[in-house]
Structure 1
Amino acid sequence: MGRPNYKVGDMIVLKSGLTRTAKANKRCRISSILPNDHGHVQYRVQFDAENFERRITEADIDTGESPSRASPEAAAKSDGAEPWLKFSSIKIGK
């Protein structure tokens, strides 16, 4: 339970009962990964129709309907995004 199964930017589906109405859209995007709370992975998520973020735990995610996290290599190849921190560009003064 200690390691996150999803990464920032993943679209997930929440279990029923966590949104106000049954007809509400349960799909949201992970905006950040929070520190563990007693061994439970926590995420900050945001729905498209809302302008605020919610805190959920790994247990709140419907793993049957949410796509499993792809390997980091496959995710990097698929979206073509570059990391925001490039270690080769860091210069250390001596």
Structure 2
Amino acid sequence: MSRPNYKVGDTIVLKSGLTRTAKVEKRCRIASVLPNDHGHVQYRVQFAAENFERRITEADIHVVETPSAASPEVATDGAAEPWLKFSGIRTGK
């Protein structure tokens, strides 16, 4: 199964023909990531001018025109500490 490439809040561009009108803005915002359907990632998207959400698959996204979802890289060096420190946990007696 494929993993979602986009996350909630990302702005994407849909392929032409999905909005039924050529003059309609094809940019929309991802409202939620849905479970996979036979290996295809699904999203709920919403256009700014609409008050409802649409269900699309990852194949409906125009990858070339969509800005890349560059997630901030976390610096990992050898001295990185774990997020949970067992020495900092206190237990009652």
Instruction: Give aligned-pair identity as a percent.
Output: 82
Report the equivalent of 1:27.
27
> RMSD of the TM alignment (CA)?
1.4
- Secondary structure, counterpart of 1:6 in structure 2: coil
Report the equivalent of 2:38.
38
Q: Which runs of 5+ in 2 are unaligned?
A: 75-93
Q: Say whether the 8 Å CA contact 1:14–1:27 is kept in structure 2.
A: yes
Deviation sequence 1:5-56 (CA, Å, 0-9, x none): 1010000000000002101110000000000000000000000000000000
Matches within 5 A, 1:48-87: 48-73=48-73
Based on CA coordinates, which of the two structures has the bigger radius of gyration? 2
- Secondary structure, counterpart of 1:28 in structure 2: strand
Q: Given the superposition, is the C-alpha separation of residues 48 and 61 from structure 1 closer, same or farther in structure 2, using an over 3 Å criterion?
A: same
Q: Which has the higher helix share?
A: 1
Runs of 4+ aligned residues of structure 1 deviating over 4 Å after TM superposition are none
Report the equivalent of 2:12.
12
Report the equivalent of 1:84.
none
Q: TM-score, normalised by structure 1?
A: 0.74
Letter in 2 for 1:7: K
Q: TM-score, normalised by structure 2?
A: 0.75
Deviation sequence 1:55-86 (CA, Å, 0-9, x none): 00000000000012112547xxxxxxxxxxxx
